[in-house]
Amino acid sequence: MVEKRSAPSPVAQLVESGREFYRRGWVLGSGGNFSALLARKPLRLCITADGNPKGDLEETNFLEIDEDGEIYSGFGKPSAEMLTHLTIYRFLPKARSILHTHSVWGTILSDVFFEQGWIEIEGYEMLKGLAGVETHDHTERIPIVENSQDHVALSHVIENVIRENPNLHGIYIRRHGLYTWGETVTDARRHIEIFEFLFEVAGRRLPHERLG
């Protein structure tokens, strides 16, 4: 009789995602932060503690926090960007995991297309990797939000973006990084991989003069 293996915990999946994303150059230094929803009522989530290199994450590098950012368990402090995670969970009921990465191509595109207001990608087969997208004949717009160290104000901006675009799959903070999410850690990780592939394709197609 074959023994059934239990599925990895959300935290174990986030640890593995961090190692792979670091290997791919998407969370260098101590950049990025990851979370998974543990309960919605009352809101409870696990999130990476501040300052840990994502390529060396361990399960002890996660904190359990409530909807006010109060720590229930774990060591360290959550990133100030936890407010963005909390906002996304509050206003996107299907989101159960949020991943935030910093890549070269995404950062470039967020700067190039900031005045337009979004990164627009259309017509690629890989778009079908995004939840709910069933054809390559699809236009995906990732809103670009100006970066700010006022994380309370930034969370309000993100709230407004979500209210205006309830079906979006990601938000880019200008010259900073991508936030995307999914109903599971696996879904959120797939969205990162899809977006990063498409960002590089779009970036490589830019005329040299637009790359500065």
Residue at 210 is within a domain: no
Give me the pLDDT at residue 3, please. 56
Residue at 2 is within a domain: no
Residue at 3 is within a domain: no
| Domain of residue 91, residue span | 10-205
Residue at 23 is within a domain: yes
Give me the pLDDT at residue 78, please. 87
Nearest residue to 105 (alpha-carbon basis) of 116, 113, 96: 113
Give me the pLDDT at residue 212, please. 60
Domain tally for the chain?
1
Cα atoms found within 13 Å of the Cα of residue 79, Cβ hemisphere only:
24
The domain that holds 152 is classified in CATH as 3.40.225.10
Residue at 187 is within a domain: yes
Residue at 106 is within a domain: yes
Q: What is the mean pLDDT of each run of 10 residues along the chain (212 residues)?
A: 69 96 95 95 94 92 94 88 95 96 97 96 97 95 96 95 94 97 97 97 83 61
Question: pTM for the full model?
Answer: 0.93
Give me the pLDDT at residue 2, please. 53
Residue at 75 is within a domain: yes
DSSP one-letter string for 122-136: ES-GGGGGSTT---S
